[in-house]
């Protein structure tokens, strides 16, 4: 491991860009934010971009011809183009704005799935999926009589690829898989999965909620047919995300929602849909949020995703080594070189919610619960875990504070 890679990030300057990191949770107790897997903090550049829109250019988009409407439309569509470049999409029309990753996956399930899946068809998922990549397919399976299959997770937190290849023999119509687990941190070999799935005739949807914020992701290289991700996990605002879909797939899909802006013509008993991507963007969209999303893309692009990933690799190596020295603490998932900057753990004799509350009293924000992945926790026989997750603004010193906080937990519970 090259210990100088993370030093290329100017952490002092980066942390200056995030006003919330200066907050004290109580007098003399600074915030240590270790919950970026749930949502990231926002830099001033994003906050200012959204404020500037509201202060200078607030108007509805696409229809108006006055100055404010044209400015707002230009900023909104510029954000789409930035996102397309960021993920390596061929055309900006392959990027559809949605509310979040959940809505993106629902769009695919209920538009592509309703049109192209028939009774008895198989959908192949994994045991480590977030509920957002389980429940939409469960709903569709109940509605259309589909079969759901699951790639197992091994004891060390990896996908069983031998079983995956066996399941491909069942000829699934779609393979929907997370690129990075929000619990285990496992980085799945999505490119290999996509290649094998395509050979078996399946379409591939990638849940990129945890990968796009933390790794260089290129849809052409991954050979993904669909990619879903959220702005709020990658320095942007809540309430907006993106669905990438190959143009030919999106063209073949019916609209997901009906209303304004997704139509070309409307008659009393019929309508014709708008061109891509507007066919899937009904009603007034989250304009300010899209502009903030674009600003977040600008921020990450200036830093470089390779540098972000390098910093996080160093942080998770350091964290896992430090946590391994705590007696009675078990971290779940693969080793640091096979995972992102996520550490989900249990402490012997202490409920994860108690761990989280005691850490919070010391200003340390972590997550406790099943993290919207109940089946995965059931797989490992766990009611819950405590999760510490890291991002480009976290430091070794904050890992040390986490370790000291856990020492206090142990002391309180004897």
Q: Which residues are catalytic?
A: 372
The residues near 250 (Cβ < 8 Å, ≥ 6 apart) are 93, 94, 96, 276, 277, 279, 280
**Cα distances (angstroms) measured from residue 106 to each of 52, 76, 158, 331, 386:** 32, 23, 26, 32, 28
Q: Both tokens of residue 307?
A: 């540098």
**3-class DSSP assignment, residue 135:** helix
User: In 3D, which of 373, 390, 96 has the Cα closest to residue 240?
Assistant: 96
Contact 380/341 with Cβ under 8 angstroms? no
Cβ burial of 200 (10 Å; 0-12, 13-18, 19+) is middle
First-residue to last-residue Cα distance in the chain: 37
User: In 3D, which of 177, 133, 185 has the Cα closest to residue 151?
Assistant: 177
Tokens 């998770």: give the residue.
316
Extended beta strands in 42-173, E state: 95-98, 122-126, 147-151
> How many Cβ atoms sit within 10 Å of the Cβ of residue 46?
27
């Amino acid at each position: 491991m090259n210990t100088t890679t993370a030093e290329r990030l100017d952490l002092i300057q980066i942390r200056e860009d995030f006003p919330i990191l200066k907050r004290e949770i109580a007098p003399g107790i600074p915030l240590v934010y270790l919950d970026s897997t749930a949502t990231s903090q926002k830099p001033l550049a994003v906050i200012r971009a959204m404020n500037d829109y509201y202060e200078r250019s607030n108007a509805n988009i696409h229809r108006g011809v006055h100055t404010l409407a044209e400015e707002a439309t230009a900023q909104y569509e510029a954000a789409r183009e930035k996102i397309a470049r960021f993920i390596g999409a061929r055309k900006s029309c392959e990027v559809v704005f949605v509310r979040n990753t959940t809505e993106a996956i629902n769009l695919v399930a209920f538009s592509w799935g309703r049109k192209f899946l028939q009774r008895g068809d198989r959908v192949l998922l994994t045991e480590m999926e977030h509920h957002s990549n389980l429940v939409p397919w469960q709903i569709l399976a109940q509605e259309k009589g589909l079969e759901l299959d699951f790639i197992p997770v091994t004891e060390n937190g990896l996908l069983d690829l031998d079983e995956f290849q066996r399941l491909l023999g069942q000829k699934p119509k779609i393979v929907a898989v997370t690129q990075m687990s929000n619990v285990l941190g496992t980085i799945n070999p999505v490119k290999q999965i996509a290649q094998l799935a395509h050979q078996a005739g399946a379409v591939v949807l990638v849940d990129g909620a945890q990968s796009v914020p933390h790794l260089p992701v290129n849809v052409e290289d991954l050979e993904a047919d669909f990619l879903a991700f959220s702005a709020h996990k990658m320095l942007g605002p809540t309430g907006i995300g993106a669905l990438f879909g190959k143009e030919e797939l999106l063209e073949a899909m019916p609209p997901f929602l009906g209303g304004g802006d997704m139509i070309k013509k409307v008659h009393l008993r019929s309508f014709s849909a708008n061109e891509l991507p507007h066919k899937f963007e009904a009603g007034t969209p989250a304009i300010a949020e899209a502009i903030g999303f674009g600003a977040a893309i600008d921020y990450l692009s200036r830093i470089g995703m390779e540098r972000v990933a390098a910093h996080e690799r160093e942080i998770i190596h350091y964290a896992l080594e430090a946590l391994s020295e705590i007696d009675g603490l078990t971290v779940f998932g693969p080793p640091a070189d096979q995972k992102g900057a996520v550490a989900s753990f249990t402490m012997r004799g202490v409920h994860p919610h108690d761990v989280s509350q005691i850490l919070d009293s010391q200003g340390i924000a972590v997550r406790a619960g099943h993290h919207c992945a109940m089946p995965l926790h059931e797989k490992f026989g766990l009611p819950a875990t405590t999760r510490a997750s890291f991002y480009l603004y976290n430091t070794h010193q904050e890992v040390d504070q986490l370790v000291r906080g856990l020492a206090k937990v142990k002391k309180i519970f004897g």
